Amino acid sequence: MTTRKELTEALRARYRSATFSDRIKILDEFVALTGYHRKHAIRLLGEEAARAKAAPVRNRLYDEAVRQAFTMLWEAADRVCGKRLKALIPSLVDAMERHGHLDLDPVIRTKVLQVSAATIDRALASVRQHIDGRRLRRKGVGAAIRRSIPVRTFADWRDPPPGFFEIDMDR
């Protein structure tokens, strides 16, 4: 296996700089020596050229300023999910701007108001991970409610025992 890798490394530079007719000859020799399928050999020998190509840069619609606005709104809304935050954003932005807690550029404001819930969740994913690696919530809020609601098990259904009843069918 190491000899195949060494041979691949040795031929890769020669293959990349060769003309088309020379590449065919190099490829024929390489396939005969290694036993690789021809298409696999082409991929191996041209691999560095493929790695050298830069990945296309995506034109991001929501930049860091919009993410910071999402984070501030998310914190103000007590870290709710993206679907609920999407519904809260219009009233929350108005209230925070009115009270001086938020001052958004008009371009950023329109982007924040038109964002989808899934995009909010994607934008806040890194922020959620930085909170001790887990999502923090207020503790003990539901515990008192859960304790106050009686839970009946199967054994509790016999109290009171079933009996007879009467129904009047007259109009």
Q: Which tens digits make up the pLDDT trace of 7-40?
A: 888 888 888 888 999 999 999 999 998 899 999 9
Amino acid at 166: E
pTM over 0.85: no
Spatial distance between the Cα atoms of 110 and 101, rounded to a whole number of angstroms: 18
* 35-79 tens-digit pLDDT: 999 999 998 888 765 455 667 777 888 889 999 999 999 999 988
User: Can you list the positions of beta strands (E) in 46-134?
Assistant: none
* 116-150 tens-digit pLDDT: 999 999 999 888 887 755 655 556 666 777 777 77
* SS3 call for 71: helix
Amino acid at 125: A
Spatial distance between the Cα atoms of 64 and 124, rounded to a whole number of angstroms: 11
Burial of residue 66 (CB within 10 Å: 0-12, 13-18, 19+) is buried
